[in-house]
Amino acid sequence: MLQYVGEHVSQRWQAGVTNPSQCYERGDVMRTIQGLAGLMFAVIALFAITLWVVLDASAAHSEGDAANFDLRLAASGLNQPVYLTHAGDGSGRLFVVEKSGAIRIIKQGQLLAQPFLDISDHVGNDGEAGFLSVAFPPDYAASGYFFVYYNHIDKNLRPPEAEDNGRNDGYDTVVARFRVTADPDRADKTSEEWVLTRNQPFTNHNGGLITFGPDGYLYIGLGDGGGGGDPLDTAQNLNSLLGKILRISVGPTGTYTIPPTNPFVNRTDARAEIWDRGLRNPWRYSFDRQTGDLFIGDVGQARVRRSACTWAALRVVSTLGGIAGKVFWSARRWPTVPALLRRRSWIIPAATASR
């Protein structure tokens, strides 16, 4: 499905519609994009009340065909569910991250009453901040450790970095490791080990997804620090982790090491953790299991020409090694697309949609 969406919209985009300032244009491309955006937001709205799973989806690659969905209620009684995944351990269990601070398990079609993990007492659940994702390593069935991304309730957990301009208003980011107990349905809350922490200048644009890529490395999406109008311009700053997707190597102990193939690993003027830059708020992304391409859903904000609208953009990173290019919607200044096309180092998203 995701591969089909990327290809379908890219074909339309290449057909000649390249100006995102036309927010309300009813052309073929924008109808396609807005239709997809409407479907996405409708699913999110339903997901906030109850959890739904897609049981049957078939994506037709011929132009104009739409995928068919069959939705069934899988679980109810959840508190702010924002992420759903599995452990890859063959158990068939589904793990649901609740933004309020817990991970719940759906086992054999039933939502277990006891959370897998509950750290709500130190999660800053406010606005876009909260408990945002969990990632199980490929060897989880044998190793028993896993990773989480959450915003800490203590806004002074980490001091501001130089590029934060002294701002310390957000709930700081924590990527941590936990371990399962002898009971496979219960994690040990006291086993927490911090892997990466970062001050958040504002409360919004936290990113929030961590996932293991097909290369076995851990990918971390960090927003640009937030604030209206991108005041810090961190996404284009190679000395900042904000506005980036990071790629690190993690194990059962310690913090992390840098993969030798990261694009800035041998540069003294950049953070070696960076795998991709120029992002406003990479809330969710997914690897294509056939090609290895990474589809990034980036929540953007734009004032292009005289049109004011908020943008959600789909970016496709076409190589597993990362492009590490400049994405236009994350720049502090917002030139028009024709001007951007003359700047060969800038990368145009595969699709955008107003909301």
pLDDT tens digit sequence for 1-32? 333 333 333 333 333 333 333 333 333 434 44
Q: Flag the least confident range among 112-116, 274-278, 299-303, 343-347.
A: 343-347
Long-range contacts of 86-94 (CB under 8 A, 24+ apart): 86/136, 87/136, 87/140, 87/141, 87/146, 88/136, 88/138, 88/140, 88/141, 89/136, 89/140, 89/141, 90/141, 91/184, 93/185, 94/53
Average pLDDT over residues 69-76: 88
DSSP one-letter string for 32-55 = HHHHHHHHHHHHHHHHHHSEEEEE
Tell me the C-alpha distance between 223 and 232, whole Å.
12
Are the beta carbons of 296 and 281 closer than 8 angstroms?
A: no
A 10 A CB-CB count for 24 gives 9
Which of 32-41, 193-202, 275-284, 331-340 holds the top average pLDDT?
193-202
Kindly report the pTM of this predicted structure: 0.75
Tell me the C-alpha distance between 6 and 9, whole Å.
5
Q: Is it the case that residue 247 has pLDDT exceeding 70?
A: yes
pLDDT band at 350 (very low <50, low <70, confident <90, very high): low
Tell me the C-alpha distance between 227 and 221, whole Å.
17
Indicate the SS3 state at residue 176. strand
Average pLDDT over residues 269-290: 92
The domain segmentation of the chain, as residue ranges, is 48-298+318-329
Average pLDDT over residues 166-174: 96
Q: Report the CATH superfamily, name and number, of domain 48-298+318-329.
A: TolB, C-terminal domain (2.120.10.30)
Q: Is it the case that residue 341 has pLDDT exceeding 70?
A: no
Amino acid at 109: G
